[in-house]
Each structure stands twice: as C-alpha cells, then as structure tokens.
Structure 1
Amino acid sequence: MTGGAGLGGAGLVVVRAGALSTVQDLGRAGYAHLGVPRSGALDAPAHALANRLLGNPSGAATLETTLDGVALRALGPVTVAVTGAPCAVRAAGRPAAWSAPVRLAAGEVLDVGPALGGVRAYVAVRGGFAVPAVLGSRSTDLLSGLGPAVLRAGAVLPVGVPEGPVRGADTPRLPAPPAELVLPVLLGPRADWFTAASVAALGRSSYRVSSAGNRIGLRTEGGPPLVRVRGGELPSEGMVLGAVQVPPDGMPVVFLADHPVTGGYPVLGVVPAEALHLAAQARPGIPVRFTPLG
C-alpha cells in the first residue's frame, strides 16, 4: 500500500490509522477447501451503502475501522463517504456529513472520529481502493495473513477509476447499532452434544459481548455455560460463517468473516448470514440473546 496513486491518478495517505483499520470488500468466497477464510466486510449492508452513495459497484473495496476511526489525506481531488457506526466526520477541519458524499481537494484531510454507537465505520472512495487483489479479493484477512496489511500511518492507498455517478443522499439509511444483540440460531449439527436443559435454556438466557472478540469471532461472557452431555474430543470438521461454536468454558462464540475453515469444538447452531451485520456493530458489554429457530 505504498505504491503511490491509483489508476485514476488519485490516492489517500493514512495520517492516523486507528486501532484496527483494514481494507475490505465482499471477500474471497470459494477457497475454503484450500484453507482460506472468506473474510470481507463484517457489516456488509454498511459497506454496500457507502459504495452506493458514490456510484461504486458493491464489490469495490472500502476501509473498515474499529471504534476510534481513521484520518486520511487526499493526494488529489476525491469524493468519499462514511457509513456504519455513527461518528463525527470532519473534512479539512470542518464538520462534514456522515452517510453522504464528501468532496476532498488535494491536501485536505478526512478525519473519521470515534464511534458514537456501534463498533465499525466504513470509508468508501469514489472509484474504490485499488490495492492489489489476492485470490480475487482486496480484503485483509487477519487469520491467514492474505491481502493488504493492516493500515499504518504513512501508507498510501491508491484509488481506482470511477465507474458511475455519485448517488448522493437518496439511499435509505441503515438501522442504528443495537443496544441489545438478538441473534437467531438454526440449531445443529452438534446440538445433541449438549444437555437438553442447556439447549432449552439458550433462548431464555442473556450473555454479554466480550471485549475478547475480533473479526474472527464474537465471544460472549456472563451467561450460563452450555453443558455438554458428551465428553471426549470432536475430530476437526468444516466451519461455516455464523457457526456458534462452544469451547470448554461453555460460552458461545459466533464465527465471523475471518473464521477458521475447520474447528474441533462442537457447533451448537448457525446464525444466518443476514443477521451477522448486527454482530459487527455490537459493542463489548451489551446484552446478547440467542433465539433458537429449530
């Protein structure tokens, strides 16, 4: 990410990288058999909205920030948009719109402030971030190390050639980040490894989002541990996006985009992919409830 401006002659320099800022697109699906996770934006609707606002295709790469935002200096004129976790946005030192196109002149700095709710903000640029693709995706994969490096101050992010007109603010907005995370769970394939009482109590129990979570998985704490009825080890088997794996402490872990493709702890159920964007914006400490679907 230090090769200068992109094909459109534009680029953005990282002034402040934030706690964890990565390049993400829709991920590299289809390589699990090679041990490669899907990766991609955790809050896919927020990623898609940022691109739609600027006329980008949905697969254009954006930046995903974590909690404390990012600051970028434009090398040339660009148009950007910030969606996802609500936050203060400043352009050239002046307040700018959140979830709407913002124009930057050469030398001006976009400052995305700390999340006021939720966890992850998405920064799109018209033309998309044109970092090199690996296995068909520009996503940073924290587990396997594929894709561009985690952002560091001084890195240059090239910008691609725009493909469509700026859409503007006529796109519907997304729901606010959750104050309580409610996740539907399709039970199986290893629900029978747990006591019937534990499985029955899952929908009545409340957990909390643990600060130990990351892009690999949302960890929970504070609820009743799920009790296994079977001892012994489970041979490593394939894992899918949204799998609810239960480690020895009995606290459910929901696998997110950078999850491993295999695992050796039993999977109680699977959260449907369309519900996982809520997990992406769940701050540590908020309540978590699971609603079994069968």
Structure 2
Amino acid sequence: MSDRALAVVRAGALTTVQDRGRPGHAHLGVPRSGALDAPAAALVNRLVGNAPEAAVLETTVNGCSVRPRATVTVAVGGAPCAVTVDGRPAAWGAPVRVPGGALLAIGVARAGVRSYLAVSGGVTVEPVLGSRSTDLLSGLGPAPLADGTVLPLGRPSGPHACVDAVPHPAPPSELVLRVTLGPRHDWFTGAALATLAARPYAVSSASNRIGLRTEGPALERARPGELPSEGMVLGAVQVPPDGRPVVFLADHPTTGGYPVIAVVDPRDLAAAAQAAPGTPVRFIAVRHRR
C-alpha cells in the first residue's frame, strides 16, 4: 500500500468532497457550492499543512470511515465527534498520523451536523469549472461518496501544524441570523416583517445543503401571485407558499420565483451549517450605515 489514495469503507449518511466552491458561474445556472462550514474546512486544511483551497471531506451527522493506502496526516474538525485509528481513540481538532492500511473512523456528531476531514495533500478528484466540490443541486463534481469509492490524494505541500490547542467554535444552541431587508420585502405585510424579527423559529429536519428550512409562524403576503424567476444569492431568505422562511446555502438555485424577504449576513452562514434540526432560530434585522 504505497499509492496516495483514500478508500471509503463506510460512506455515512452523506459524505461529499468540498473545497471553496465555484463562484462566478451563476450566469450559467451553476451554484457556488463548497464547504458549508467554510472556516472549519479551512482550519483542518491548515492543521495538516494543506493550502486553503485543498479539497476535504464533509460528513453529515454520522461520519464516515476511510482507509488511506499510504501514511498520511489527517485532521477532523467542524462538528465534534469521536475519532479512532484502528479502533484506538485519536485527537479531534488536531493533526493525527494515520499509517497506510489503518482504518480511520469519524463518529457520530455529538453536536452540530457536519464534520470535516482534511488529509495531507488534499483530495485530488478531477476539478469541474475550477472546483472539486460536489454540488447536490446541479450534479456537478464527484458523486456523494459510496462504500468502496477510492479517492486520489495529492502530495503534501508542507509540514502539519504544531499546536497544543486550537479554538473551535461550538455548534449553536441558538442560531442567530443577522439579516438586511431583501429586494422583495414589500411583498409582505408589516405584520410579517415584525413576525420575522420578533418570533422564534426552529431548524427543520428537511434542511440540506441547498437550504436551511425553518418551522414557525407563517409570513403573511401583502401581494398575491408569484414573481418571474430572478437571481438568487447565498444567504437569501426566500419565502415559499407555506410562509416559512428558507435560508439559501451553498448549493442553492441561482434563480427562483418566490419572494426574498431578507438576506443573511455571510458571517452567520457557517453557524447555519452546524445548526441541528430543532435548534431555535432568531432573525435579527440590521441596518447598514450610509
């Protein structure tokens, strides 16, 4: 076992290859994609000595198990979870040496939703439009991992980090999303705007990489009918006919016909990626200074 590759033994509920995504192609109908918790992905890359744009694995809820074919350095971050090498406990949130042929297991998330695995050299599947990210909406990039998938790895570009402890943000016990009014806020009543800013919501179990769906009070329309499809941005808060807000995440469609009542501050989207179903959600209206 001397070739640089990673064999997937247990793929888990949903494990995908992700990097910084493919921005700049919305005019072609291609979403940005990329790691939902971008700071977590960047941190594990830094821990193993990878460049920030190196591709990592993003797991969902119940982790995955992989077997490198050569000795590698790995780091697991994002949602806290158990990490083992051949059944022996290993560090989470720090560089770990894994011998070729050993089984690296990433366990169920103890909190949060998505864990990130970086491997020295990065995952080097063929890029599409400049990115190795899996896009669940368009189908671009590699398919979600399956048991038996073999992923190529690059050569290490530098030594792993030497650290005693690295601060990791905890998954949110309450998701606070700062928003500015969206381009179609006038499609809603004043009462709806007050509801969005004052009433509690919760993360729905129907959430995914495309959007964080919410449960809570419906937002009342001031206008009937639907819009012609128009451009959508990352963080847009779209309101479908049931009146419950949906926050668009990395794999969101680039156009849509439901009105956008608000847009989330990009700095809050990493926390949204780690908000488990049932997590309370508060939308906080902010104003930009002129």
TM-score range, shorter chain: over 0.9
Q: Which residue of 2 aligns with 1:232?
A: 225
Cα RMSD, aligned residues only: 1.2
4+ runs of 1 displaced by more than 3 Å?
none
Deviation at 1:59? 0.4
The CA distance in 1 between the partners of 2:212 and 2:31, in whole Å, is 16
Question: Is residue 80 of structure 2 the alignment partner of residue 86 of structure 1?
Answer: yes
Normalised TM-score (structure 2)? 0.97
The unaligned stretches of length 5 or more in structure 2 are: none
- Gap change, CA 1:146 and 1:250, over 3 Å in 2: same
Counterpart residue number, 2:185: 191
Instruction: Give 1:114-133 correspondences, 5 Å limit.
Output: 114-133=108-127
* Match in the other structure for 2:247: 254
Q: How many residues align?
A: 287
- Give the % identical residues: 66
Which residue in the other structure is 1:283 paired with?
Answer: 276
Q: Against the structure 1 CA distance between its residues 207 and 118, is the aligned structure 2 distance closer, same or farther, given a 3 Å change threshold?
A: same
| Displacement after TM superposition at 1:170 (Å) | 5.3
How much does 1:168 deviate? Answer: 3.1
Matches within 5 A, 1:52-91: 52-91=46-85
Q: What 5-or-longer segments of structure 1 have no aligned partner?
A: none
Match among 106, 114, 122 for residue 112 of structure 1: 106
Residue of 218, 226, 237 corresponding to 1:244: 237
> What is the identity, as a one-letter code, of the residue corresponding to 2:262?
G
Residue by residue over 1:97-134, the C-alpha shift from the partner in whole angstroms, topping out at 9 and shown as x without a partner, is 00111111111010000000000000000110011100
Offset at residue 53 of structure 1 (A): 0.3
Match of 1:292 in 2: 285
Once residues 131 and 168 of structure 1 are traced to their aligned partners in structure 2, the CA distance between those partners, rounded to angstroms, is: 28
Distance 1:88 1:234 in 2: 47
Distance of aligned partners of 1:45 and 1:171 in 2 relative to their CA distance in 1, 3 Å threshold: farther
Looking at structure 2, the residues matched to 271 and 170 of structure 1 have their Cα atoms a distance apart, in angstroms, of 35
C-alpha separation between the residues in 2 aligned to 1:119 and 1:233? 33
CA positional deviation for 1:9: 3.3
Q: 1:20 aligns with which of 7, 14, 31?
A: 14
For the residues of structure 2 that align with 1:217 and 1:67, how far apart are their CA atoms?
A: 16
Paired with 1:171 and 1:163, the residues of 2 have a C-alpha distance of 23
Contact map agreement 2:94 2:166 (CA 8 A) in 1: no
